Amino acid sequence: MAEEEANAPTQWIPADAVLAVELFQPKALLAPFGDGKAAAAFAALPGAGKRKARPGFEKFMGVVKYLESELGTDWPTALTKMTGGGLAFALRPQQQMVLIADAEDERMLTQLHEFLWKAASANKKSGSESSQTSSQQVDGVTAWSLGPKEAHTIIGKRLVLSSGFSELQTALAFRSKSGGSSLAATPAYQAAKRAVGPDAAGMIFVNMAVLKQAPGIAKALQPKESNPLVALLFAGIAESVGASNWLAIGLRVQEKEDCLALQVVSDGAKLDPKGPAAFALPAKREEGALPNLSVPRQIAALSMYRDLRRFYGAKDQLFPERTSGLIFFENMMGIFFSGRDMTDDVFAQARPEIRFIVANQQYDPAVGTPSPQIPAFALVLQMRNPAQFREVMEEAWQKSIGLASFTRGQKAEPGFVIDRPVHWTTKYSVARFSTTGVKDRSKLDTRFNFSPSLAMPGNNLILSSTEQLACDLIDAAGREAKQPLAPLAQTHSLLEANGSRVAAALLANRENMVRQNMLKSGGTGESDSTGIDALIAFTEFVEQLRLTFSAESGLNQAKLELKFKWPGQKVAETR
């Protein structure tokens, strides 16, 4: 193991690297290309046939086929054999770069070099102005250049490629050193590698200390005017990045499950328990965001740990420049909540576990289908004193619906009709639009996407954009009451999404999105639909997405997991 560390590609990369990508297990990362899954996915993308028909693409594929015949294998296998021992790529100041790859097959690596060298030399002999090949001795080995911004050499099974002969000299100088000032020897890189763990297939390392020396980056990381919603959702994340000396992204591949996991770790300081952004910090070790609720047709769900009382109580520190906006907000809330203090009488009633759900709608054929089709969404809070707060919230909700109806009435638009039905044992409030007098039910007005609802089963407070989702959440809350779920310790944010449901929502509104693109660009329907169709196809490939934010052992961490569904692969239906 010590010998492997001593010969690691990053031992030949200078310590001043701003960005470094190291693949410890290239085979695992290249597996989808070797088994044909990635090729099938690209072939399924909209416009793939037209791209293949272009002359440039045909010429490129001709070169690839010829190269495959020269190497005696297909390109995914060749790439795996030429990088299977490990790979590292780094960007240095002044746009310098270095790439080091350790091949499993030295002969194939030499074959590739000879093929490229002969092709470039042939261009030079034919008088091509673009050919600028040359070779020279660098640190005792022969090095070649195929152009003004490239130089490379092969030492045994190792390919060393850089942006010029001088940069190549810098990398090769580490052969006679025992680490010295290489990237691998720096404390920041070593800490980052420990943080991502020994089972990572690869790592992306960002030297924030060096990056922040650039005026543009330093300015971008400086605190700006805060948006209350952004501050609530991303509490402490921007501050952590700004305070960090390094940032690392660990890559893991679970081949059997077709899952790619990216773990983002930084050494940025934790939230100050007494600071204004501490409203997102779990008060106890075992506390954190709750697991997401599950409802039919669910697109995405977000669960957070946010102390709303503490958040609003720190508003003057968090948003000193938004005094006028906050005054207007408090005046409006004062109307809805009958003058109650927002900090101690309203937000203090909510526990810090907050959940937000988005789901596709299932429209009633008797009512009709609106255009565009907007997914339903809901906010779920947990009340500290349900018996005390239910009537307060009901009054505030009815006032807000009344104000909305009054405002619409001033514009000669239909208002809401309030009802109080019962779902199982929970009586809830719903505001609907009447369809009386509506003749065309095939494309109803956008307003029919909404039936604002308030439900309070147990200690839950559900504010939903539709009655259907409110009832589904009453069911979900009932299931959770029977089998309470433990919080995700020290996790302050959890986002989960279903790719096929996202694709279904996009597909239902495809015509409207294409029409909007056409109006903005003045183009044709075909050209304006390509990007939208590609987005829909990509979301179909992502079976599940899971993103978590937490703070563990003094390190701020984010973890992104992507589970892929390749073309032709069946997936078990979930709720």
User: In terms of C-beta density within 10 A (0-12 exposed, 13-18 middle, 19 or more buried), how is residue 164 classed?
Assistant: middle
20 or 566, higher pLDDT: 20
Mean pLDDT of the region 6-10 = 80
| Amino acid present at 360 | N
Convert the pLDDT of each residue in 278-299 to its tens digit. 888 887 888 999 999 999 999 9
Torsion of the alpha carbons at 366, 368, 374 and 379, rounded to the nearest 10: -20
Convert the pLDDT of each residue in 301-320 to its tens digit. 999 999 999 999 888 888 77
Mean pLDDT of the region 364-370 = 88
> Strand ranges (DSSP E) for 14-70?
19-23
**Which residues form the domain of 178?**
2-185
Q: Is residue 331, in this structure, part of any structural domain at all?
A: no
Instruction: Answer yes or no: are the C-beta atoms of 474 and 463 closer than 8 Å.
Output: no
pLDDT for position 128: 54
What's the CA gap between 246 and 269, in Å, rounded? Answer: 12
Convert the pLDDT of each residue in 427-448 to its tens digit. 999 999 998 888 878 789 999 9
Q: How many other C-beta atoms can be found within 10 angstroms of the C-beta atom of residue 501?
A: 19
What's the CA gap between 223 and 213, in Å, rounded? Answer: 16
Least confident of 232-246, 405-419, 526-540: 526-540
Sign of the dihedral defined by the CA atoms of residues 336, 342, 348, 351, in that order: positive
pLDDT for position 573: 47
Indicate if the pLDDT at residue 209 is higher than 90. Answer: no
Number of domains in the chain: 1
Q: Is residue 478, in this structure, part of any structural domain at all?
A: no
Instruction: Answer yes or no: are the C-beta atoms of 394 and 401 closer than 8 Å.
Output: no
Q: Give the contacts of 176 (CB within 8 A, at least 6 positions apart).
A: none
pLDDT for position 100: 96
Q: Is residue 99, in this structure, part of any structural domain at all?
A: yes
Q: How confident is the model at residue 13 (pLDDT cuts 50, 70, 90)?
A: very high
pLDDT for position 574: 46
The DSSP string of 213-244 is TSHHHHHHTS--PPPHHHHHHTTTHHHHHHH-
Query: In whole angstroms, how far apart are CA 162 and each of 80, 98, 146?
Result: 21, 4, 11
Closest C-alpha to 221, from 208, 238, 197: 238
pLDDT for position 132: 74
pLDDT for position 32: 74
Q: Is residue 134, in this structure, part of any structural domain at all?
A: yes
3-state secondary structure 239-273: HHHHHCCCEEEEEEEEHHHCEEEEEEEECCCCCCC
Sign of the dihedral defined by the CA atoms of residues 536, 538, 543, 547, in that order: negative
Q: Is residue 135, in this structure, part of any structural domain at all?
A: yes
Q: Is residue 95, in this structure, part of any structural domain at all?
A: yes
Task: Give the DSSP H or E segment for 60.
Answer: helix 55-71
Residue with tokens 């130089």: 151
Mean pLDDT of the region 470-490 = 94
Q: Is residue 204, in this structure, part of any structural domain at all?
A: no
pLDDT for position 433: 94
pLDDT for position 395: 97
What's the CA gap between 53 and 58, in Å, rounded? Answer: 7
Indicate the SS3 state at residue 66: helix
Average pLDDT over the chain reads 86
Query: In whole angstroms, how far apart are CA 551 and each of 5, 61, 303, 493?
Result: 29, 47, 16, 11
Least confident of 56-70, 106-120, 197-211: 56-70
Mean pLDDT: which of 67-71, 385-389, 482-486 is highest? 385-389
For residue 53, give both structure tokens: 């028909």
Indicate if the pLDDT at residue 159 is higher than 90. Answer: yes
Mean pLDDT: which of 359-373, 505-519, 554-568 is highest? 359-373
What's the CA gap between 153 and 106, in Å, rounded? Answer: 13
Indicate if the pLDDT at residue 331 is higher than 70. Answer: yes
Convert the pLDDT of each residue in 32-91 to its tens digit. 776 666 666 666 666 566 666 666 777 888 888 888 898 888 888 899 999 999 999 999
Task: Give the DSSP H or E segment for 514.
Answer: helix 510-521
Q: What is the pTM for the complete model shown?
A: 0.83
Q: How many other C-beta atoms can be found within 10 angstroms of the C-beta atom of residue 325?
A: 11
For residue 305, give both structure tokens: 């740990």
Q: Is residue 56, in this structure, part of any structural domain at all?
A: yes
Indicate if the pLDDT at residue 138 is higher than 60. Answer: yes
